[in-house]
Structure 1
């Protein structure tokens, strides 16, 4: 009996030794495979998607010159949505580059967008117009959040709609996505709704301005304070005439300037707002605490870059040729990024969201338009 255990132990002990090194090799191999790939391989993986987005941006820029009052940004969103819905599955080889374009390239474009802002020009509108912009953004964003809660729309989607409709359209939606940690489906829905209702405003603003007898300047102020996308505001101003175009664009750029402070405020308040609504929706049941380290920075780096670019332009530190290059670059970067965002707009997924987000978008558009109209009327 006693000799058998020693006989069994040697039989068992050699077995682990041969298998130990064999087990170590796959472990080392898997660790190596988990390590980041060398940058040439990562760049090669991004190239197909980046090339697709660049080609789509070029097409959108060309089409924008042929289609009246259609900016390249709006056309790019439509092109991306058409590709997403007409092609059963976009080949996976394009996915990494499209994802980088929708995030990193977009943020670079927003930073360069700051070079279009000259605070002196905005201040020339008068303090009344500046207060109007602040009120429109504040009421639009908070109103969307409250109405979304009343309608049963998720807090992330409600805030995305509020940002897009009250600040600067799809760029604000995409910028807020990281701050809110919103789902891609919510971001795509908000972008699609911005395009839909902002395009409707191109017809509504000139029509209502004519019916109510607004002066060209007042009509431009209203269009700039109520229409979602910069390109849509340019279209509205083009229809209203040259006297309306300049104030419309300046008011819109003042709304764009609100992007930085709004993102900073959302970074601090959004987690509480979302947590409170989740708790209320669960009828007081406890929700899981946030995992430490996952909260995004209160002020993202791209927001600081946007504000710094606006400051540098305002101080006159950018030569005219540099401003021209930055303007061209931001147009191309944002156009490519909007195509990438458009690739996330899936009609079937939007239909599954139901009518509530559509109703929220309509009510938010109406709220922003009414507040802006009342403000313009008070300004005379």
Structure 2
């Protein structure tokens, strides 16, 4: 008696069934993040209508909303997969898209002197913050996150560097909360810092060297005119341009410290996160003229939207008690790091303006 042949479902059908299962598993958490992101954009629009500018951007609003919802409902197993996808995968896609928003030509036209000055400020701020964090007794992971956030571009740099150094979500959330507060103080106080002998463009450069996000740079530089806004935006883009090299160096250093580094180029490439490689590739494609201007606008909006979504997800993964218990070392590191960044930037701008 022969056994009946087993009928197996076609491979495409099985793949579709598994994809549907994954989607249904991700939908609850991703849906909650999307709702919080939309609410953050709405509250930012209310700010702009009432005050003429967004004192607290959608990025930070989404983080605060996520932390608040997490404090109210606690961790939910059914939401974890979608929240994790937004906080990691979608964020990495957003960082990659961000590369298309930078004009290498504009940076090169500004001259090597300005680019070199920006690079020196970033390197100084990184080294200075690491020293401050070590003296203050802050953990190495949080120290590096503060250093990247203050030196480069705030939330985006922190979230880009976190996977590279294997930082915990509690570290990321606490760091972003305190650096965002410090950055807001810089935005509000910088227009009041009228330096003698410094023209409007110089004040714009100072804003670009010290303020986190491009909209915040525009807000801090706007009292000094359109020229200051243009100069500040260009310098800010140069700072963000350092994100890729810094993450690359951190990847190699962290791997060597863990004993996984290799001497070949292929080994180094495997240490670099894929989204950093994608960031550089998108930047190169725009420089080559492959990415049209209309697509740049769309990619910029996509990168911003995915980052806001990720901020909501990060907030949902943060335990408020852990943030409140961050303690004096984190506060001291953030404050002294910002003071060092502002002081070094003022010195550089005055020296350059005096030539």
Shared fold (TM-score, shorter chain, > 0.5): yes
CA 1:270–1:371: 2 relative to 1, 3 Å: farther
CA 1:265–1:292: 2 relative to 1, 3 Å: closer
Indicate if the aligned counterparts of 1:170 and 1:191 stay in contact, CA closer than 8 A: yes
Deviation at 1:113, TM superposition (A): 0.8
Structure 2: unaligned runs, 5 residues or longer: 1-16, 48-52, 263-267
The residue that corresponds to 1:65 in the other structure is 45
For this pair of structures, how many residues does the alignment match? Answer: 326
Deviation at 1:271, TM superposition (A): 5.1
Aligned counterparts of 1:84 and 1:234: Cα–Cα separation in 2: 33
The residue that corresponds to 1:255 in the other structure is 239
The residue that corresponds to 1:207 in the other structure is 192
2:314 is the counterpart of 1:365: no
The residue that corresponds to 2:142 in the other structure is 157
Task: Provide the aligned C-alpha RMSD in A.
Answer: 2.3
187-196 or 100-109: which moved more?
187-196
Deviation at 1:212, TM superposition (A): 4.2
Deviation at 1:243, TM superposition (A): 2.2
Structure whose alpha-carbon radius of gyration is higher: 1
The partner residue of 1:122 within 91, 103, 107 is 107
262-271 or 248-257: which moved more?
262-271
Indicate if the aligned counterparts of 1:84 and 1:344 stay in contact, CA closer than 8 A: yes
2:65 is the counterpart of 1:79: yes
Aligned counterparts of 1:320 and 1:193: Cα–Cα separation in 2: 36
The residue that corresponds to 1:49 in the other structure is 29
The residue that corresponds to 2:281 in the other structure is 308
Indicate if the aligned counterparts of 1:77 and 1:338 stay in contact, CA closer than 8 A: yes
The partner residue of 2:79 within 94, 114, 137 is 94
1:160-175 residue pairs with structure 2 within 5 A? 160-175=145-160
The partner residue of 1:140 within 125, 133, 145 is 125
Aligned counterparts of 1:194 and 1:84: Cα–Cα separation in 2: 21
Indicate if the aligned counterparts of 2:255 and 2:261 stay in contact, CA closer than 8 A: no
Residue by residue over 1:56-92, the C-alpha shift from the partner in whole angstroms, topping out at 9 and shown as x without a partner, is 222222332331234322322222233233x141433
Residue by residue over 1:208-249, the C-alpha shift from the partner in whole angstroms, topping out at 9 and shown as x without a partner, is 1x2546322111111111112334323323444322211111
- Name the SS of the counterpart of 2:271 in structure 1: coil
The partner residue of 1:184 within 130, 153, 169 is 169
CA 1:158–1:271: 2 relative to 1, 3 Å: farther
Residue by residue over 1:178-200, the C-alpha shift from the partner in whole angstroms, topping out at 9 and shown as x without a partner, is 11111221111111122111111
TM-score with structure 1 length normalisation? 0.80
The residue that corresponds to 2:201 in the other structure is 217
Aligned counterparts of 1:346 and 1:240: Cα–Cα separation in 2: 41
341-350 or 185-194: which moved more?
341-350
TM-score with structure 2 length normalisation? 0.85
The residue that corresponds to 1:235 in the other structure is 219
CA 1:156–1:248: 2 relative to 1, 3 Å: same
